[in-house]
Structure 1
Amino acid sequence: MAEIILCPLLEVVLNKVASRLLKEVALTYGFEDEIDKLRHSLSIIQAVVEDAEERQVNEKALRIWLADLKEVAYDIDGLFDVFDLDVVMSRSHYGFGMKKFLPSLKPVAAYLELLPKLKEIRKRLEFLAAEKVRFSLKQQVVETRCDAEEKRQTGSFVIESEVVGRDQDKEAILELVLSNGGSGFNGRFSVIPIVGLGGLGETTLAQLAYNDERVTEYFELRIWVCVNEEFNVRRIMKMIIESVTVSRSDFLGMDVLQSQLRSLLRGRRYLLVLDDVWNEDPDEWDKLRISLSDGGEGSKVIVTTCSTKVALLVGTASPFYIKTLSDDDCWLLFKQRAFAPGEDYPKLEAIGREIVRKCGGIPMAAKALGSLMRFKREEEEWLYVQESDIQNACEGEDGVLRALRLSYSHLPSHLKCCFAYCSVFPKNYVIKKENLIHLWIAEGLIQSKERKSLEDIGNEYFTDLMWMFFFQDVNKDCDGSVTECKMHNLIHDLAQSVAGDESVVLVHGNVSKHLARTHHSSVVCDSELQTIPESLYEAKKLRTLNLLFSKGNLGEAPPKVFSSFRCLRALNLCGSGIKKLSDSIASLVSLRYLNISNTLIETLPETVCELSHLQVLDLSYCCDLTELPRLLTKIFKLRHLIINGCDRLSHLPDNIGRLLQLQTLPIFIVGTQASQSLKQLYRLPIGGELKIQRLENAVFVPGAIDANLRDKPKLRSVGLSWGSNHDGSMMRNDENDRVAEELLMSLRPHQNLKSLSIEGYPGGYFPRWIRGSNLPNLTNIKLINCRRCEQLPALGQIPFVKVIYMRGMPAVKNIGSGFCGRGSGRPFQSLQELTFIEFPNLEFWQGTNAKEEFPSLFKLTVNGCPRLKNLPFFSSLQHLELRNCNEMILS
């Protein structure tokens, strides 16, 4: 069932209407009264819409009303993109003048055409906002929640013979439950969280442990409490007391309840199961924890939850993450429900096993599908379910998506919107976290707060959804940061269910019948479908379009994209094979996200610079791209210029330092003019990766060598290179070398840096900032073709450096103790890989203390060091590679 979430969008629209600049323009052109009415209507809407969103689950008419309201909100939001006063102000900075770009009465008139419909909606909302109706609304929501909670009550009883695939998990939990040790609260009790995706069997696993004979013998008291949505400490304490005394508790006061509970537990070893916990408030948990602290030594609390955040909040032990079942185990569960004992249908088994694969290892889904097939014995009926999504096959069945919907219902509205947006991706699609956050921002789903950037807030949203298991198969980089993920098929079904007609994925040319209200779409372009289906052009209000190619050969984007989808905010042509981008791209006035990475494009049209709302321009690995648009800095809202792998770029547009919101600029090419000097980086809030190339050009702009890298805390990787091919063979003179030494000194990065590369450096020595106290977080360093440096920098006391790679340093004759650095700690304590290549004049390598130096090194590569006569002692070395070295070393 589609669910309409409107609060985040209304907040965006209301912020735009409340703009001070809009008020001034409205006053100038005489429509201030209309803007005030609009602002007032939106305020009323915002006051009641949250309650309406809650109630829509049970009232179809209200859901339709919210859908209509959302369309109007989209129209208003889109209109403000055309009528954007920020753009007016930015253009005035380019000397066009404010008056020329103040809005004419024509767009104002178009804007006012929306007001009659808005007034009608406002009247309906005013009716809902009436005191009596609002009270009734809230009461009905509470009653609905209570009714739903009654249905979700769980008990401790379980039929163990019907549980499959959990024997090892049960034993692992029992080991934790029956252990005498543990770092519990006050040494009295420990908390063991069982956590996983809804429907995986967290409750079942707790029941298995709770009813085990070893547990009944070990604990004097066993207590089971189903917590559900509301973590009401008073109610939980009352239920524990009633479980222990086996009688109804009439205590009302919190103090009396607490005293009674502590008295009942005092000195008695207990096992308490708190099933289905969602509370993330540490204060509420502390209230309960205090009342449980008088139990006997070895008492345990098992908490089952679908939230990693909850597990980390309450647990004194590491969370026990429950995993999916194998297809064979799911088949056993399915067969229990689908067939009576002794029934044998060989023809149906093969189909049934294919159906079970849809469960993705979730026991609840296997049981629900088995129940669905219980009275179906025709092959056609089973084939229909095999070819259908679970949500369609089990429509109306209780339980198949119930647990997952419960997880969804606990999300705040902003996370609901972000999750529903993920339905735009096909099943099993690898989602890049960075791209997803950029798309959320483009769609306006992330709103700024305090001093945090939108990207940082988006990262928090992603983490929250990941901790609720809405994302799986998470991939991480070498630093442990999440880079990619997928969605479980059932989670994807849930996303499609809540998104409804707002989002559609077209595969193999399939066409949705409801496109009028479609705002987000992906088209999977394969051998059967190479372009956009004509029917999709009916979606005139499309805001996201992903063209997903397995092997692109599009040549040029379909012209109708630019004429039909004027509301587009995100356009993804990655891997499409396009060689040219039409000038008509400028017609997409609302575009925030443009991805044309991994294509054959050579140049971009200058009309790209008219996309005044553009935030993300992804050109990564456009290997044929030779230049960027000359007036790129007109796109003053640009936040991410992604040009990794664009190796044919010889220069960047002038004055890129004007893009004051630019956070991603992986390549900066130093030019010979002030408009291309390092000074352009000074005010940019760049993070992530930055490679500064052609540093030899810095000599042509005296005084413009400060890139201010030291004040860029979000930079994680910095590369510094001299020369066009980084081989150190460019023309040199003493003056240029002296400037290079001063330049490298000025390029000291922030201490958060994790990776540093220096290539083709013509100076004679390395700056003092390359040392442990200045770069405490550095993990990777490369020094390549630094041909005049006679001494290696003091790297030994950098605490976390894991990889050191050095090549092409003919001036180094000896490696002395200075390489280890000065400090009290063991040198190179974290170093795992060390490489020396092309050190033709290196003769001696002076070690320090054999027991302390290189304690973690497992791989050493020495290549092209023909004069080297000795090596230090390496206590942990596992891989040694020696090539083109002195025979004394080889022997």
Structure 2
Amino acid sequence: MVDAIVSPLLEQLISISYEEAKQQVRLVAGVGKQVKKLTSNLRAIQAVLNDAEQRQVKEESVRLWLDQLKETSYDIDDVLDEWITARLKLQIEDVDENALVHKKPVCSFLLSPCIGFKQVVLRRDIAQKIIEINENLDDIAKQKDVFNFNVIRGSTEKSERIHSTALINVSDVRGRDEEKNILKRKLLCESNEERNAVQIISLVGMGGIGKTTLAQFAYNDKDVIENFDKRIWVCVSDPFDEFRIAKAIIEGLEGSLPNLRELNSLLEYIHTSIKEKKFFLILDDVWPDDYSKWEPFHNCLMNGLCGSRILVTTRKETVARMMESTDVISIKELSEQECWSLFKRFAFSGRSPTECEQLEEIGRKIVGKCKGLPLAAKTIGSLLRFKKTREEWHIILNSEMWQLEEFERGLLAPLLLSYNDLPSAIKRCFLYCAVFPKDYNLDKDELVKLWMAQGYIEQKGNIEMEMTGEWYFDFLATRSFFQEFDEEKEGTVRCKMHDIVHDFAQYLTRKEFAAIEIDGDEKPFLLTNTCQEKLRHLMLVLGFWAKFPFSIFDAKTLHSLILVYSSNNQVAASPVLQGLFDQLTCLRALKIEDLPPTIKIPKGLENLIHLRYLKLSMVPNGIERLTSLRTLSEFAVARVGGKYSSKSCNLEGLRPLNHLRGFLQISGLGNVTDADEAKNAHLEKKKNLIDLILIFNEREESDDEKASEEMNEEKEAKHEAVCEALRPPPDIKSLEIMVFKGRTPSNWIGSLNKLKMLTLNSFVKCEIMPPLGKLPSLEILRIWHMRSVKRVGDEFLGMEISDHIHIHGTSSSSSVIAFPKLQKLELTGMDELEEWDFGNDDITIMPHIKSLYITYCEKLKSLPELLLRSTTLESLTIFGVPIVQESFKRRTEKDWSKISHIPNIKIQNIVFRSK
């Protein structure tokens, strides 16, 4: 863990020293030497960290030494962050004090001799901190000699990108045929003796043995699904939180939560909900064997229909007995052959038969050390998949880690071996996952953004940080640190961590990361003084009646804060948030989910000058000061009665935020009355944005405003002017414009040469299809609810033969292509559309089209034959287009011959497939 912090610190220190020498600028007297001393000490310590981190598991004194080093490393990180961002803060303050400062050369905090009083004070403050840190690091460096550490080289393996799609369909169930058959039979069998009972079945076995995997097999089995009215999955874990478990059961039954405060009320709700229902409830990972906690659930769940089943997974047989299980299935270790089969699947993937033969003897010895544990075989197999030589396999076989007896009988050993083999940059990315609770759905894209916010991913050359983050994620995935992959639409990838892997991450991070849930009538959570000093990353889940823990105010070194509110939280709507950000000024990532409408947007966000990731429902005033921001999920412009809301920032607040990258949604653009305000947002300068959504929604209008023709004309002009001023950066790849009330979209759309996906949604005044055919990279085009367009023709292509002659001096029709890369076209909700045809035979149109999706175009008479006859077309969907549907549903030779070659056809929910 410590190496994951020390390595990037060294890179930062070296970079700062290089810049100082390059510019030939002295810091406050002696600080340059202090920086070099820091660097020297860290290098000496780094050389022995691999040995220290392996020995800490057995030696308490080494673990304490590493804890000291870790805290000092965090202090260095904070000072360097303060150093780097201080110049930006001073510049902003100078702008506030002197409106003319931008016309003069700006004094550089690090690199310029023109230093005012503030700069001198700030430099001295940072210099003093560095000196104090160096004194601590001196002591730590001297202590290392007592331990006689060995110098062990760390992993130098490069994180080559491996696509995660290959992992998503991988099943973890290996062998277990007997257990699977027994479990399935007990779930489906209904004997006469069981007619009036809800049966409880328990799977008992040690951690990593495969209990959860077996339960997942049952939960997703087709026969099981058809046998029950309702299926509910609840991860219980430790502690046994009655409120959370009750709400999870209700949510599984009903899909939503009732507005109930008392546990008794929740249990009564369950009792009523399951009446006359045959349900299948899985309670995964149950720990406490206290019957007083289980009894209320047992009583209310017995109200289910006969044939209902409760499946429990637990590591303790006493839990199974306490829950009055009718059947207990003991999950034993895998047989040697089953364990070998699972190990081979990972370790030998992609190897030639000759390689496999050469490594089999060593591999079988390693499998013997896995003791029949599926998680151990999978984890160590994933590690060895990337070890090419017999020597590397022998190192793993002979490692002292196998002698460890902590955790679940040696499960720590394969996890530590895999963890120690990770590059330091990826180690810290893995450990960051400890901030999330067990069984949490990790979103790949969000995880990468949070890693970036912490500085875990560095910009290297022209490679985008998001791309590097994806490599890191895939690197961890291929080594089995993640599981249960789910790839959703638009490429969203979610996954989970095995609970043992999660325990392992928490074991390594100790008090630095915490995921805390507060609910019901529990006492407010209190942080101890030790926790306050060490806590760096926190996820806080506030239940329906939870009170905000005031002790968080003292955790002044927090780098991440993720607040999750239960819907309609009644108690947390206190002024407690208003002073929070005056204290937590080290935050780099802040996310507040489901903020109740009764809570005002917190003040003091402008103090978070280190903040790089922000996710809020509304952006408050002062955001323009957060110049380090890289991720801002949504920027909402709000007005009340024609004036900006005092809570929110106007659009010009985006101007200084040129480090924004990835995705950005700007809503409330209908509230912007001045095109200059939009222009001053300098959207085109945010060159790292790749996915942009512009929403022209606005405050609710009065009836008089809605009826005013003059107001409507003014609104059309305003929307067009504001949209034109919001020219996005040229490298944007995905763009969506919504609720646009102008007649024509902006001309800049045609200049977005790297645009791959475009959605135009609710252009209610637009009467002519925009000319989009010249977009050279466009692959997906969605036109939704463009209600005033009556005809689609050559104007949609956006080009004529004369265009090609002008550029190339030739009129070869084969060279003139409209929509050259378009693969998917959607037209939806085109209420007035009657005709669609292309008349220019000199232009090649959509040569790579694969999918046509035409819905709710009730007046449309026909589809263009040119597209229908395309040999590349693989899918055609027609719904809510009655005239066209009727012609094809009759399947006359004339009409059906136009589309019979298309492999997948769906017309008004009727599926046709070509032979």
Give the structure 2 partner of residue 289 of structure 1. none
From the superposition, tell whether residues 122 and 499 of structure 1 become closer, same or farther in structure 2 (CA, over 3 Å).
Answer: closer
CA shift for structure 1 position 443: 0.7
Runs of 5+ consecutive residues of structure 1 not aligned to the other structure: 143-162, 171-196, 213-222, 244-271, 279-302, 315-367, 369-390, 863-873, 879-891
2:853 to 796, 804, 810: 804
Deviation at 1:498, TM superposition (A): 1.1
Q: d(CA) in 2 for partners of 1:95 and 1:749?
A: 39
Is the 8 Å Cα contact of residues 558 and 586 (structure 2) preserved in structure 1? yes
| Secondary structure in 1 matching 2:557 | coil
Query: For 2:486, which of 475, 483, 503 is the aligned residue?
Result: 475
Q: Which amino acid aligns with 2:337?
A: L
Q: Is the 8 A contact 1:753 1:777 kept in 2?
A: yes
Distance of 2:822 and 2:614 partners within structure 1:
34
Query: Which of the residues 827, 834, 844 maps onto 2:878?
Result: 834
CA separation of 1:452/1:653 partners in 2, compared to 1, >3 Å: closer, same or farther?
A: same
Query: Following superposition of structure 1 onto structure 2, how do residues 428-577 of structure 1 map, counting pairs within 5 Å?
Result: 428-478=439-489, 481-508=491-518, 509-513=524-528, 514-531=531-548, 533-553=549-569, 554-555=572-573, 558-577=577-596
Q: CA deviation at 1:796?
A: 10
Q: Deviations over 1:32-83 (max 9, x none)?
A: 7523541463255246415324423312354134224313322323322542
Is the partner of 2:563 in helix, strand or coil?
strand
* TM superposition shift of 1:453: 1.1
Tell whether 2:79 aligns with 1:76: yes
Counterpart of 1:95 in structure 2 is 102
3-state DSSP class of the match of 2:748? coil
Give the letter for the 1:72 counterpart: D
Partners of 1:433 and 1:210 lie apart in 2 by 30
What is the Cα deviation at residue 550 of structure 1? Answer: 1.8
Residue 487 of structure 1 and its aligned partner are, at CA, apart by 2.2
Distance between the aligned counterparts of 1:624 and 1:108, measured in 2?
Answer: 41
What is the alpha-carbon distance in structure 1 between the residues aligned to residue 423 and residue 504 of structure 2? 16
Residue of structure 2 equivalent to 1:854: 902
Equivalent residue for 1:593?
613
CA contact (8 A) 2:438 2:502 kept: yes
SS of the equivalent of 2:874 reads: coil
Q: Which residue of 2 aligns with 1:381?
A: none
Q: Is the 8 A contact 1:636 1:660 kept in 2?
A: yes
d(CA) in 1 for partners of 2:144, 2:416: 28
Report what 1:705 is aligned to. 748
Flag the 1:95–1:841 CA change in 2: closer, same or farther, 3 A: farther
The one-character-per-residue Cα deviations of 1:395-422 (angstroms, maximum 9, x if unpaired) are: 6664243333333233221221111111
SS in structure 1 at match of 2:4 = coil
Amino acid at match of 1:5: A
- Residue of structure 2 equivalent to 1:138: 151
Checking the alignment, whether the CA contact within 8 Å between 1:557 and 1:581 is kept in structure 2 is no
Please give the TM-score of this superposition, normalised by the length of structure 2.
0.59
Moved more, 812-821 or 638-647: 638-647
- In structure 2, the CA distance between the partners of 1:72 and 1:276, relative to structure 1 (3 Å rule), is farther
1:632 aligns with 2:666: no
Q: Write out aligned runs for 1:543-692 (5 A).
A: 543-553=559-569, 554-555=572-573, 558-578=577-597, 579-597=599-617, 601=618, 604-619=619-634, 629=650, 630-640=652-662, 642-643=664-665, 653-654=678-679, 655-667=682-694, 672=718, 676-678=722-724, 680-681=726-727, 683-688=729-734, 690-691=736-737
| Greater Cα offset, 117-126 or 470-479 | 117-126
Which one of 122, 131, 142 corresponds to residue 116 of structure 1? 131
For 1:265, the equivalent position in structure 2 comes to none
Q: Deviations over 1:203-243 (max 9, x none)?
A: 9767226999xxxxxxxxxx999999xx9x999998879x9
Residue identity opposite 2:471 in structure 1 = E
What is the match of residue 791 of structure 1? 836
Q: Secondary structure at the match of 1:847?
A: helix
Does the CA-based 8 Å contact 1:417-1:445 persist in structure 2? Answer: yes
Aligned pairs for 1:746-757 within 5 A: 748=775, 750-753=777-780
Aligned counterparts of 2:446 and 2:136: Cα–Cα separation in 1: 36
Residue 752 of structure 1 and its aligned partner are, at CA, apart by: 4.5
The amino acid across from 1:560 in the alignment is G
Alpha-carbon distance in structure 2 between the residues aligned to 1:91 and 1:754? 46
CA distance in 1, matches of 2:654, 2:358: 66
Query: Shift in Å at residue 813 of structure 1?
Result: 3.7
Shift of 1:441: 0.7
The alpha carbon displacement at 1:616 in A equals 1.7
| C-alpha RMSD of the superposition | 5.2
Match of 1:718, as an amino acid? L
Letter in 1 for 2:684: G
Q: How do residues 195-274 of structure 1 correspond to structure 2 at under 5 angstroms?
A: 207-208=336-337
Aligned counterparts of 2:792 and 2:408: Cα–Cα separation in 1: 75
Distance in 1 (CA, whole Å) between partners of 2:592 and 2:364 is 51
* 1:67 matches 2:70: yes
Which amino acid in structure 1 is aligned with residue 583 of structure 2?
A: S
1:49 matches 2:94: no
The 8 Å contact of residues 436 and 539 in structure 2, kept in 1 or not, is answered as: yes
Q: How far off is 1:525 after superposition?
A: 0.4
1:96–1:594 CA distance, 2 compared to 1 (3 A): farther
Matched-pair contact (CA < 8 Å) for 1:26–1:32: no
| Separation (CA, whole Å) in 1 of partners of 2:29 and 2:368 | 50
> 2:105 is matched by which residue type in structure 1?
M
**d(CA) in 2 for partners of 1:240 and 1:511?**
53
1:38 corresponds to: 35
SS of the residue aligned with 2:452? helix
For residue 613 of structure 1, report the CA deviation from its aligned partner. 1.1
| CA separation of 1:305 and 1:612: change in aligned 2, threshold 3 A | closer
Work out the CA distance in 1 between the residues paired with 2:387 and 2:506.
31
Checking the alignment, whether the CA contact within 8 Å between 2:560 and 2:590 is kept in structure 1 is yes
> Aligned partners of 2:465 and 2:540: how far apart in 1?
28
Partners of 2:724 and 2:507 in 1: how far apart?
Answer: 51
Structure 1 pair 457/760, CA: closer, same or farther in 2 (3 Å)? Answer: farther
User: Quick one: structure 1 residues 421 and 486, their matched pair in 2 at CA, closer, same or farther if it must change by over 3 Å?
Assistant: same
871, 876, 890: which one aligns with 2:913: 876
CA separation in 2, counterparts of 1:587 and 1:165? 56
Seen in structure 2, the aligned counterparts of structure 1 residues 426 and 676 have a Cα distance that, compared at 3 Å, is same
Change (3 A) 1:482 1:129: same
Deviation at 1:706, TM superposition (A): 4.5
1:119 Cα deviation after fit: 3.3
The Cα shift of 1:858 comes to 4.2
The change in CA–CA distance for 1:788 and 1:169 in structure 2 (over 3 A counts) is closer
Structure 2 counterpart of 1:464, which letter? F
Please give the per-residue CA displacement for 1:784-816, whole angstroms capped at 9, x wherever unaligned. Answer: 428467324799976673451243374x54445
Structure 2 CA distance for partners of 1:592 and 1:47, relative to 1, 3 Å:
same
Q: CA deviation at 1:876?
A: 2.2
Query: Counterparts of 2:15 and 2:508 in 1: how far apart (Å)?
Result: 27
Distance in 2, Cα, partners of 1:277 & 1:685: 53
Match of 2:294 in 1: none
Partner of 2:392: none
Amino acid at match of 2:5: L
